[in-house]
Structure 1
Amino acid sequence: MAELVAVQSEASILGSMLIEPEVVLTVTSKLSSSTFTIEAHIIVMQVFEALILEHHTTDFPSILQVLELTNQLQKIGGHEFLRSLIDSVDSLTAIDTHIELVKDCSRRRASIAGLQAAIVNLESFENDPGAVWSQVYQTGLEVSDFGQHGSTHIETGHPERGLYATRIQILKARETAKVLYTGWEELDSLIPTGFARKDLSIIAARPGMGKSAFRFNLTRRFCDRGFGVAFISTEQSKEAETDRQDSILTGIAVHEIARSSTWAVGDPRLELVKKANRFIDENWNYDILFDRQLNMSGVRDWLTLVTRRREKQILLIDLFDRLTDVGVAENKASVVTRKLDELSVLSQIFDIHICLVVQINRQVERRANRRPQLSDLKDSGGYEERGRLVLLLYRDAYYNEDSTDNTLEVCISKQNQGPAGPNVIVPFQFNPETLEAIPRHGGFFGSRETTTE
């Protein structure tokens, strides 16, 4: 009975993947083709895996084309079989339940097969019972969740899986890795691993605080250091974004650039803007997408496109919560968590760091101390759990119009390997006219009183 239910769940999962491309990331992060039972199901899942590995789109026409080119369409039952998979979908919201049913059944099959092999060995007097027990243990480990989807088992004393061998592999990998440091020593010294590939980071602040300006200053640092950067804007127009970009690069006030149509012929500022954009075209590995109707599936498709042309090390999304399937009205917290999981899978697939720019809740305005905290993040549970690095921004001049202090505080509110907390802050000198941000000498660590000008 359990096997029959699992087969039905397999069909529903594959049908959901054919209907809704966004489901593909959820499924492939939890299941593999070896998890499936029916040969036809295995073949279809292998096609999905192959397309993902090659960074191709995984929509229905693509699946159909691969099946036809590899002469497997008729083997699985033709178009009728694919239609039957789609017809088997009861509800897209039931995908997680179907995934768990298939995983449980797969584990049972693997356990039975492993135990049967161990029993055969026990019946042979030539085999060491201790070795047989080790095989039973290893089989149990491999079919558990610990043996699935890239988990690592370290076994002290083992020549290949031992702690020494594992540590040597890690150290050698670090020797050749190109760490995503910003080049701002004041910030890099407090973030030992940099903006690590295959990780997620969060930059958060209230509207108008300077988070988008800080994001472009980061972009500039990465691009100048030779990193490949992909940027998605779900809020700003290309006019507003490039005005900011030109202001930071040329030192011309952003409000002046916005009024460039009033400049006289031959105005030297125009030549500066042209020079800055020529420099970007000739020297930066930088791709930009402006789309206010983008969803997670679109993010994946665009990332697939740009990484085929040039390698990327980091993707920045500003604003993440404006993606059409993230900024929903109902159950937003659970939606955000699920979409962050999908982004985590994308970071693994494309071997990149993903940095998300997000909003801070209005509740911070009600406090005497308006510096943001992790709990001020909108739908903060998901961000706190999934974000390996969280930077919270604050400017006193934002709240006090008479203030002459243009310090932009960058608080390392969370990170997995390094100092973090409300007093771990790097102060930047922020120019509200040109939007340029430059670290000040010194920094905060343990107290806000240690800053130097």
Structure 2
Amino acid sequence: MTGSTMAPDVVPPTAFDSEQALLGAILHNNDALDRARDHVQPGDFFEPLHRHIFEVMIQRRDAGEAIDFGLMKAVLGNADLGGQTVGGYLAKLVSEAITVSGAASYARLIAQAARMRRVLETSQAAVAAMTDGSVRSPAEYAAYMIEALDEVASAGLSESARRVTLGQGVASVLARVDQTRMGKGIIGVPYGVPKLDTSTLGMRSGQFVVLAGRPAMGKTTVAIHIALTATRRNGAVGLISLEMNAEELSERVLSAVAYNPREWDQITYRAIAEARGLSDAAMARLRDATEACADIPLWIEQQTGLTLSQISARARQMKLKAERMGIPFAALIIDHIGLIRPSKRYSGNRVQEMTEISSGLKGLAKELGIPVLGLSQLNREVEKRQDKRPILSDLRESGSIEQDADVVLGLYRDAYYLEHKADRSDVEEDRLARCLNTLEIEILKQRSGPTIRIECFCDIACNVLAEAR
């Protein structure tokens, strides 16, 4: 009996004893199958005969029939059992059976061995591809490996997307309610704007949140503020920047961290980029800010033109990294979703492409059990209106994004339009002076909560956001 298709000089990882013990436990008590099948699939079994037995067991269980010795004898028939009789082999399975309560643990060992074999097979295939000349560059080789191993990496991350009973669901809610009432629970990842957090309960696990606005409305400023708040309170945050590189983003972060409302001369990120005009005092503040940022788990992915599958792979890697560090992976931020490179499936049909992307981001949030925040540009129809505050229909390809998003936040800065208006009247000059650092965040959509408008203090030049007093 063998399930190996690998090179003869390589011993593949197996969990042969666990396979036998699990099958024996199912024969002893059919309930063990129900506990095991959430963790292991027939294809995870190394031994082909065990794989076949497990498949038949699932079919019999789903049909509402008993799994017993008579069934197994019919399944095994004249199979090669290494010199053992069918009865003797079945007796061996039962004698080495585990308890029902241990079925899930053995199932996980079997699945883990299967994933290890997949890693080995992929590595061997990659080496073969390099030596036969079909892979021509390191980047091509790495892309092949990432794509091939993504399924393995994600296999252990889907607990949050698994089926649960109503009883389990409501018990989980009640436990969270008890923890929150005692001041121990966390409802959602905070935005860092108290009124917004109160109105939305924060960014909750599995939510797809859209932050929308026209250019220069402050999307990146708000996103960085949310990211810094989340890393300080909840854990690691991944920032997929499809527009700016890591240095540009870091300049904005430094400006925000170095900001001191008691100082009259703030350090803008433009001044940091220019560098020459910075005073010794400003440099001292920047060094303090750099030290403060050293241990902030904000991970920036700056590669442009990523596809949805590549973003998903990097997000899974970030979650695994956070788990190895012993901290939660709090949130994923994407700047911005309009720059995600679509697959070729709907080539040329932008609406279908965006539908695939937005539904994929919602699926990723559920899979990883984290909120995914996607920045989105509004279309130019906004500019044609007298009141340029955003509405849901202003979202580009809004049908799919509006449908998939759990929360949509619209950003608006009246100061931007006043600053760019020629021949301002005295009334408009006065209005500009009063709203120069005002940013409006409007909840345009929320599945379970109010839609309100919140005024914030926002120093765009320093990348600083705070709730207005």
Among 195, 204, 215, which residue is 1:186 paired with? Answer: 195
Q: How does 1:34-113 map to 2 (within 5 A)?
A: 62=119, 64-65=121-122
Deviation at 1:342, TM superposition (A): 1.9
Match of 1:373 in 2: 391
Asked if residue 167 in structure 1 is aligned to residue 195 in structure 2, the reply is: no
Among 302, 306, 309, which residue is 2:318 paired with? Answer: 306
Point out where structure 1 has 5 or more consecutive residues left out of the alignment.
1-31, 44-49, 69-148, 155-160, 442-453
CA distance in 2, matches of 1:186, 1:337: 31
Among 311, 315, 323, which residue is 2:332 paired with? Answer: 315
CA 1:337/1:429 → structure 2, altered by over 3 Å: closer, same or farther?
A: same
Deviation at 1:397, TM superposition (A): 0.7
Q: How does 1:27-38 map to 2 (within 5 A)?
A: none
Give the 3-state SS of the residue equivalent to 1:232 in structure 2. Answer: strand
CA distance in 2, matches of 1:382, 1:301: 23
Match of 1:222 in 2: 230
Give the 3-state SS of the residue equivalent to 1:189 in structure 2. Answer: helix
CA distance in 2, matches of 1:318, 1:171: 35
Match of 1:260 in 2: 275
CA distance in 1, matches of 2:275, 2:124: 54
CA distance in 2, matches of 1:372, 1:182: 20
Asked if residue 294 in structure 1 is aligned to residue 306 in structure 2, the reply is: yes
Tell whether the 8 Å contact from 1:326 to 1:332 is kept in structure 2 after alignment.
no
Deviation at 1:153, TM superposition (A): 6.6
Tell whether the 8 Å contact from 2:268 to 2:462 is kept in structure 1 after alignment.
yes
- Equivalent AA in structure 2 for residue 386 of structure 1: D
CA 1:303/1:166 → structure 2, altered by over 3 Å: closer, same or farther?
A: closer
Deviation at 1:281, TM superposition (A): 1.6
CA distance in 2, matches of 1:182, 1:394: 17
Deviation at 1:432, TM superposition (A): 3.0
TM-score, normalised on structure 1? 0.60
- Equivalent AA in structure 1 for residue 235 of structure 2: F
CA 1:326/1:314 → structure 2, altered by over 3 Å: closer, same or farther?
A: farther
CA distance in 1, matches of 2:282, 2:467: 26
Tell whether the 8 Å contact from 2:209 to 2:373 is kept in structure 1 after alignment.
yes
Among 432, 436, 440, which residue is 2:464 paired with? Answer: 436
Give the 3-state SS of the residue equivalent to 1:316 in structure 2. Answer: strand
- Equivalent AA in structure 1 for residue 332 of structure 2: L
Deviation at 1:415, TM superposition (A): 0.7
Q: How does 1:345-424 map to 2 (within 5 A)?
A: 345-401=363-419, 402=429, 403-404=432-433, 405=435, 406-420=437-451, 424=452
**C-alpha distance after superposition, 1:353-407 (max 9, x if no partner):** 1000010000110011111100000010111111001100001011111412131
Tell whether the 8 Å contact from 1:202 to 1:390 is kept in structure 2 after alignment.
yes
- Equivalent AA in structure 2 for residue 417 of structure 1: S
CA distance in 1, matches of 2:214, 2:121: 46
Among 207, 211, 214, which residue is 2:215 paired with? Answer: 207
**C-alpha distance after superposition, 1:235-280 (max 9, x if no partner):** 012232111111111121222112114546xx22122222212212
CA 1:196/1:235 → structure 2, altered by over 3 Å: closer, same or farther?
A: same
CA distance in 2, matches of 1:269, 1:346: 41
- Equivalent AA in structure 2 for residue 171 of structure 1: L
Give the 3-state SS of the residue equivalent to 1:433 in structure 2. Answer: helix
- Equivalent AA in structure 2 for residue 314 of structure 1: A
CA distance in 2, matches of 1:289, 1:330: 27
Choose 180-189 or 247-256, whichever is displaced more. Answer: 180-189
Tell whether the 8 Å contact from 1:57 to 1:301 is kept in structure 2 after alignment.
no
**C-alpha distance after superposition, 1:133-155 (max 9, x if no partner):** xxxxxxxxxxxxxxxx856675x
CA 1:183/1:398 → structure 2, altered by over 3 Å: closer, same or farther?
A: closer
CA distance in 2, matches of 1:223, 1:169: 25
Asked if residue 231 in structure 1 is aligned to residue 246 in structure 2, the reply is: no
- The structure with the largest alpha-carbon Rg is 2
Amino-acid identity (%): 23
Point out where structure 2 has 5 or more consecutive residues left out of the alignment.
1-39, 56-107, 126-160, 180-184, 260-266, 323-327, 420-428
Deviation at 1:166, TM superposition (A): 5.2
Choose 323-332 or 240-249, whichever is displaced more. Answer: 323-332
- Equivalent AA in structure 2 for residue 411 of structure 1: E
Deviation at 1:301, TM superposition (A): 2.0
CA distance in 1, matches of 2:375, 2:120: 34
- Equivalent AA in structure 2 for residue 425 of structure 1: R
Deviation at 1:344, TM superposition (A): 2.2
RMSD: 3.5
CA 1:275/1:65 → structure 2, altered by over 3 Å: closer, same or farther?
A: same
